[in-house]
Chains A and B, each alone.
Chain A
Amino acid sequence: MVETTSSVTKAESTPKTKHFKSRKRQKKIGKIITYILLIAISIILISPLLWMVFTSLKPMNEIVKYPPTFFPESIEWSNYTTTVNAFPFFHYMKNTLFITFFVVLGNVVSNSFIAYGFAKISFPGKNVLFSLVLATMMVPGFVTMIPQYILFTKLGWVGTYLPLIVPSFFGSAFNIFLMRQFYMSINNELIEAAQIDGANHIYIWSHLMIPLTKPALITIGIQSFNGAWNDFLGPLLYIHDEDMYTLQIGLQTFQNQSTTQWNYLMAGATLVMIPTVLLFFFAQKYFIEGMDLTGGSKG
């Protein structure tokens, strides 16, 4: 691969020989090749999304045309109103937002709370317990899914949103890890000073730590919004009443009903993707921090 990480100043300090000149040209060519590669890959990666939007705007006669064209010849905005009416989009959106709100709340509060214990309080068995947190990442969800379903059946929670919401209030390994990393960057003296002033850990957590860890909380909030908004497996397993469907289940049902009416299907897919894409463009920083294993050091 082409690598141009070296600095120009260093190269200039070497004597200007023929060898140096050829290397400079080589570097320029390398840069051009890199740009060509970057642009080509960008086109490949972005064209599915453009194609989706373009297809969603095509009238039916263009959809059935062979071979298909990339750009729509005429734009049919009414595809969107047709789609929104074909499956109760806004009703499903309301359901999805309801679940998402509580999942985000649960994730932000519980992981912040749990990670404070792991990062800032010393107690016997802490390291063993934290290893257990990390070990839970290695257990595939399908291993616990069936007994969980049985448990929720016995509790009478199947057919309600509770199985989708309640587990998020007990923390999740990756987020505990992420929050703990962030807490580690906060000076302990702050906590000690507050304790001398008579504050207990609950007070310190809720009044001092939550404001200080805001970037990490936003990261977790955004990640869990995305997770809940796009969750298909949970609602598929637990929600059977059509009135309670989420957007993901609604879109899947819509797909089953209108197999090749691609303009409507692409309009539906576009509408469902919009919140994630908007969130991504306005809060990209937090998406990237959510991926960063070593991160959280920028307090």
Chain B
Amino acid sequence: MATTSTSKQNKKKRWTKKQKKDAWWGLLFVSPFIIGFLIFMLGPMLFSFIGSFTNYNLTSRMEFIGLANFKRMFTQDELFWKSLYNTAYYVILNVPLTAVGSVLLAVLLNQRMRGISIFRTIFYLPAILSGVAVYVLWMQLLSPTSGLINTVLSWFNIQGPAWLFDPVWTKPALILMKLWSVGGAMLLYLATLQNVPKQLYESAEIDGASSFKRFYHITLPMITPIIFYDVITSTIGAFQIFQEAYVMTDSGKGGPANSLLFYNLHMWNKAFVAFDMGYAMAMSMILFIIVLVLTFVNLKLAPRWVHYS
């Protein structure tokens, strides 16, 4: 390029000057992130931390009450435990089921066959749909008498459950709805699978390895880094469950026997219905700690099963 004509000495001198200048340019470019981080993340988190020890109610009151919020949460608020149980139930079933589902679909799609891209489109389509329209659609699909699911079950002479009206079935209903959109994670796996060297499978096949063995010994190790990423992000995502339950339980009432009262729904009701903001901020701190601990555990366990090539 044009720089080649300048002598080495000159170049070196200009670089240091350039480096100084570059530092300012660099800071200018990343400054929106820094400002946004301070205003919308670090500031709020500090405020939440302090607020969790107060009885703040958005208007005037903000007195330090020590650990009273946490004491109330752990010893007097039955709904706190209920919402924590509901959320744990959901996370424990949702995260592995979506991981397994998306890996299986990706393996199924990772083949050289005619029309495979059409299937990929179909598998992925539900994953891009989100929001109230999807929840309303599923409220109809899950409707005990006029819904598609129980109608199909009745063709096989199976009496379907009351889904969203039966406390035992509300959470499985929601997990079912979430499974509909495994296509997102599936694409992540598919992209990785397509990078697995074909020779690996070919030589394994010549050695007579069965398709299950090939999956277990070649495919699975190759995708463990993605499974790891997927498990971390989907665990955090699953803890955020709120909108589905809010829409499906008549504006956040929690459903039959509070079976859909998830952690965030309870926090929402405390913060924006009761305006018990100090208490809600204490709840948000506990949520943060739970997610932090789980992410940390995931990171610690990773070397045991994640293969990095």
**Measuring CB to CB, which residues of chain A are less than 8 angstroms from any residue of chain B?**
1-7, 10, 14, 30-31, 34-35, 37-38, 41-42, 45-49, 51-52, 55, 63-64, 66-68, 70, 110, 113-114, 116-118, 121-124, 126, 129, 132-133, 136-151, 153, 167, 169-171, 176, 189, 192-193, 196, 200-201, 205, 226, 229-233, 236-237, 248-249, 251-252, 255-256, 260, 262, 265-266, 268-270, 272-273, 276-277, 280, 284, 287-288, 291-295
B251 → chain A, closest Cβ, in Å?
A: 7
Chain A residues near B64 (CB-CB < 8 A): none
Chain A residues near B309 (CB-CB < 8 A): none
> Do A146 and B140 touch (CB < 8 A)?
no
> Do A153 and B58 touch (CB < 8 A)?
yes
**Measuring CB to CB, which residues of chain B are less than 8 angstroms from any residue of chain A?**
1-3, 19, 22-30, 32-37, 39-41, 43-45, 47-48, 51, 58, 104-105, 107-113, 116, 119, 121-126, 128-134, 136-141, 143, 145-146, 148, 151, 154, 180, 183-184, 187-188, 191, 198, 201-202, 205-206, 211-212, 214-215, 219, 226, 229, 232-233, 236, 239-240, 242-243, 246-247, 250-251, 264, 267, 271-272, 277, 280-281, 284-285, 287-288, 291-292, 295
Chain A interface mostly: helix
> Do A5 and B111 touch (CB < 8 A)?
yes
A39 → chain B, closest Cβ, in Å?
A: 8
Counting chain B CB atoms within 10 Å of each CB, which of A51, A139, A145, A265 scores highest?
A145
Chain A residues near B146 (CB-CB < 8 A): 63-64, 66, 68, 260, 262
> Do A51 and B141 touch (CB < 8 A)?
yes
Query: A226-B128, A273-B129, A276-B129 in contact; A252/B29 too (CB < 8 A)?
Result: no
Residue of A nearest to B38 (CB): A170
**18 A-B contact pairs sorted by A residue (CB < 8 Å):** A1-B211, A5-B202, A34-B111, A68-B146, A114-B32, A123-B25, A139-B41, A139-B288, A146-B48, A192-B3, A248-B131, A251-B132, A255-B132, A256-B250, A269-B137, A273-B129, A273-B134, A277-B129
B277 → chain A, closest Cβ, in Å?
A: 6
- Bound complex: CA A28 to CA B131 (Å): 42
> Do A171 and B32 touch (CB < 8 A)?
yes
Query: A3-B211, A3-B214, A280-B128 in contact; A293/B229 too (CB < 8 A)?
Result: yes
> Do A143 and B247 touch (CB < 8 A)?
no
Contact of B291 among A63, A114, A140 (CB under 8 A): A140
> Do A171 and B33 touch (CB < 8 A)?
yes
Chain B residues near A255 (CB-CB < 8 A): 132, 136, 139, 247
Query: A146-B280, A169-B32, A280-B128 in contact; A4/B137 too (CB < 8 A)?
Result: no
Chain A residues near B232 (CB-CB < 8 A): 138
Chain B interface mostly: helix
A-B contact count (CB 8 A): 300
Residue of A nearest to B2 (CB): A196
- Bound complex: CA A256 to CA B41 (Å): 34
Chain B residues near A48 (CB-CB < 8 A): 126, 137-138, 141, 148, 180
Chain A residues near B110 (CB-CB < 8 A): 3, 5
Query: A139-B45, A143-B288 in contact; A122/B211 too (CB < 8 A)?
Result: no
B196 → chain A, closest Cβ, in Å?
A: 8
Chain A residues near B137 (CB-CB < 8 A): 48-49, 52, 266, 269
Query: A1-B211, A255-B132 in contact; A170/B295 too (CB < 8 A)?
Result: no
> Do A201 and B132 touch (CB < 8 A)?
no
- Bound complex: CA A268 to CA B137 (Å): 10
Residue of B nearest to A23 (CB): B205
> Do B108 and A1 touch (CB < 8 A)?
yes
A176 → chain B, closest Cβ, in Å?
A: 7
